[in-house]
Structure 1
Amino acid sequence: MPDESDVKAVLDQLNSLTQSRVKFQILLDAADGLDADAVTEAYPGVPYTNKSKKDELKKEGLVREDDGEITLTQRGRHIERSLRTLFDEFLIDNRVRPFFRSIECDDEYVPDVTHFAQDATIHRESDDLDLTVKNRYKECLRESETLRELLPFPLGLRQPTEAELVTDDAFDAEYVLSDDFFSDITNNAHYQQRMYDYAADGTVSWYVASELPYMLSVFDDRVLFITQNGRLKIALESADEDIVDWARERYRTIREAAAELDLASENGGVRIERTE
């Protein structure tokens, strides 16, 4: 495990690399083993070649080339290990990964970081639903606006749990969240456990269209829209039929170019599917 200074260095590196699509993809490639003979399709349309990728990696001090063989430098290995450790702490489950999509946010490129979670495991001190995430990165996360922007909700970083009024002029709606429910979505371990419990009962599903900087979650009689930086936009409580009708209408009006979703009742809950 890297120490605090290592993690801070990685966060600083992320701060600079997230300003460039190419540089961050290069870092992804390096952390993912660096297949120099194949250009990844993770970011379609990113203009760079194998040669420019290799040159950029060398310029960043992440790789070296000897007799045509490309290997990670000590710095590259350090960053790769630190990034994997860092993201393994947070991207801990297949059902969480769909939240992460490549989107534009405030003129800053927010990368798809799913590559770091392929072999991730759950790290938790107990199954206590009220357990907040405890890890050595919490303070670094608080200090890193860039990394927090990468996360769809504030993992392990508690916000005030008192009832909070949520408004959004674009939707002409405002709803009040209860103490309990607001706590659920801002307490990572608790929120994820709720996800698992609902999913095990077949009563929850979620999906993010790659074109949208929103997460749409349906929990039995609640629909949530959450922005890419975790700030809750809308919460609604209603009967299932009302939820389906409301969510379908709202989701389609968020952005006309978005992939159309069809919401259907299933096992007393809601299933979200893409319709071609």
Structure 2
Amino acid sequence: MNEEIEYLARSDTRIELLRVLTEGPKGRRDLHDRLDASRTTLSRSLDRMAEFGWIEQQSNGSPYRLTALGAHIEREFSHLLEGLEVGDRLAPLLRRASVDEFDLDPRELADADVVEATAEQPLAPVERAMKARAQSDSIREFATVVMQESADQIHERIENADADATIEVVLDASVASSMREDDEYSADLERAVADGAVDYYVHENLPYLLALLDERVLLGVVDERGTPVALVESDSASVYEWAEQTFKRYRDAAESLVG
């Protein structure tokens, strides 16, 4: 590991010292007041950073200030830490998403809500998706699993939809097959297609749950048993743009159930 990176990574106080100095020159007393560090630790950090060329003093006893190199190091290391924090928050989603199929920058989801299935609330992702769907007029989504309550909600929305409502569902091939083998699901599917209240498509391999509900986007993943384990909800305009393009790409590659 690069010596400077290793030095910063070993102590939160060190990167915080650089952050404080981004505000402008600071004397030792000001720095001690701002940082959770002893005078000895602060003195050693200042001396080491001066050796690296990150900070400087115009004269002995004058305030410390960042050099251009120090400002660059602070900026890049802080960017790295922010990225790691985003990755940690989104880990329930990202650890089950393929890098080849998930081409959204995770930083775009930094402010998203993350819902994870737990032992106490194993259906939390499903319940969150159903709540969001119930509040939406426009529904466009990937169906990657068959869940009784969720499927019932979709068909209830189809039956009660206004003429101007938008409902498009891309079914994973495995989901479509399961629905056709179930008499109740099959009847609902055929009726919805015949009525023209919803546009159904079938795709051979959908990568994850994706739903565009009015101006919101939901992203979800399932475990090895096909159970939803994590859901992310975002109202970011850039995430919506990505989701819209992704939905269109998979929909256009899918087969329509009409005819």
Q: TM-score, normalised by structure 2?
A: 0.32
Structure with more of its chain in helix, by fraction: 2
Larger relative contact order, structure 1 or 2 (CA cutoff 8 Å, min sep 6)? 2
